[in-house]
Amino acid sequence: MKTETPFELTILGSSSALPTSDRYPTAQVLRVPGRFFLIDCGEGTQIQIRRQKISFSKINHIFISHLHGDHFYGLIGLLSTLNLLGLKKDIHIYSPSELKTLIQPQLDHLKADLQFKVIFHPLNFKKPQKIYSDKKVEVFSFPLKHSSPVCGFLFKEIPKQRNIKKEFIKQYNIPVAEIKNIKTGADFKTTDGKVIPNAELTTLPPRPRSYAFCTDTVFLPEITEIIQNVDLLYHEATFTESMKDWAKKTLHSTAKEAAEIARLAKAGKLIIGHFSARYKTVSEFKKEAKSVFENTETATDGNTYKVEQH
């Protein structure tokens, strides 16, 4: 029996620089077994976390793509709340190094009461880098291109070992030391010299799932190499093609360009967001993106996008 483990993204904010009355600035959580990775933390993130009934105690790793206010102004409020809630586990922040300077005075102001450490991990804007890993997931940053140094993030499940069929362990009396080898792909030789091929002894583990977050960037097709075959892709689409020149000038992408990235990356599904507040509806974004990449959705605050296990 396969036990389903979560790998799902919840949008907390999908507006761009100016929040609207129904879209908060950028923030998302990726739920994986045992924890929530918080990705960007615009103003109001803690309010959205509460509304989504996400456990504050399971947030210990926060990824901040860049230092425009709509991507980090909610951080100090969140840290203050974690502290008021009595949480004591260290908080790791992966961000441009300057973030520390920007919020340190406010952290110092809280400091007398602060019950956990805040550990800053500076991002590398020159090349992709593994910035986090545990037994189940690894996270990479990779440079994007915008008016402020910015990284995207790629979250990948670590491939699981093959599942050994229990009946064979009993049948061939397989020793524990051998089980380890078989799980990594080895065949098994019985005491009478018969070779049982691995494919017979084991079943394939679920395919590792992946999510890529690409925000605030001009159209940058070279990133499709690192995010190739990603299951779920979020890509900013601040404008539609009618404002393509302005998108280029402000180093943002259009919905069509976001879809082009999804197509080149052979992504499973695309979610677009970071819509400019000047658009009254997002229907044009959707139409434009779908013309290039059919499996596109427009981000909506509070929506959850699940990546199934296969």
Catalytic machinery residues? 70
Q: Are 162 and 184 in contact (CB under 8 A)?
A: yes
Q: Which two tokens stand for residue 255?
A: 């919905």
Q: Rounded to whole angstroms, what are the CA distances from 140 to 90, 129, 153, 157, 215? A: 21, 5, 6, 11, 15
Asked whether residue 92 is marked as a ligand-binding residue, the answer is no
Q: Which two tokens stand for residue 167?
A: 């009946």
Which window, 47-55, 161-169, 206-214, 294-302, contacts a copy of itself (CB under 8 A)? 47-55
Contact letters (x/-) for a copy of itself, 10-39, by CB under 8 A? Answer: -------xxxxx--x---------------
Is 57 among the residues that bind a copy of itself (CB under 8 A)? no
Is 51 among the residues that bind a copy of itself (CB under 8 A)? yes
Q: How far is the CB of 281 from a copy of itself (least distance, A)?
A: 17
Is 229 among the residues that bind a copy of itself (CB under 8 A)? no
Q: How far is the CB of 76 from a copy of itself (least distance, A)?
A: 6
Is 104 among the residues that bind a copy of itself (CB under 8 A)? yes
Q: Which helix (H) or strand (E) holds 136?
A: none
Amino acid at residue number 142: F
* Contact residue for a copy of itself among 2, 34, 85, 173 (CB under 8 A): 85
Is 81 among the residues that bind a copy of itself (CB under 8 A)? yes
Three-state secondary structure readout of 84-107 = HCCCCCCEEEEECCHHHHHHHHHH
Is 114 among the residues that bind a copy of itself (CB under 8 A)? no
Question: CA-CA distance, 310 to 304, in Å (whole number)?
Answer: 19
Q: How far is the CB of 257 from a copy of itself (least distance, A)?
A: 23
Question: CA-CA distance, 148 to 128, in Å (whole number)?
Answer: 17
* Contact residue for a copy of itself among 73, 125, 168, 305 (CB under 8 A): 73
Tell me the site size for a copy of itself, rule CB under 8 A: 31
Asked whether residue 235 is marked as a ligand-binding residue, the answer is no
Estimate the share of the chain in helix, then strand, then coil, as percent rounded to the nearest 5.
Answer: 30, 30, 45
Question: Which CB atom, from 209 or from 252, has the smaller least distance to a copy of itself?
Answer: 252
- The residue written with tokens 């404002």 in the block is 243
Q: How far is the CB of 69 from a copy of itself (least distance, A)?
A: 5
CA count, 13 A, side-chain hemisphere, 29: 27
Q: How far is the CB of 66 from a copy of itself (least distance, A)?
A: 12
CA count, 13 A, side-chain hemisphere, 150: 26
Is 278 among the residues that bind a copy of itself (CB under 8 A)? no
Helices in the chain by DSSP H: which ranges? 45-51, 75-84, 98-111, 166-172, 176-183, 198-201, 244-249, 255-264, 283-290
List phi, psi (to 5°) of 275. Answer: -70, 135
Question: Which CB atom, from 102 or from 169, has the smaller least distance to a copy of itself?
Answer: 102
Which residues fall within 8 angstroms of residue 178, CB to CB, at 6 or more apart? 186, 188
As annotated, the binding site includes 66, 68, 70-71, 146, 216, 274
Residues that bind a copy of itself (CB under 8 A): 17-21, 24, 43-44, 46-47, 50-51, 67, 69, 73-74, 76-77, 80-81, 84-85, 98, 101-106, 109-110
Known binding-site positions for Zn(2+): 66, 68, 70-71, 146, 216, 274
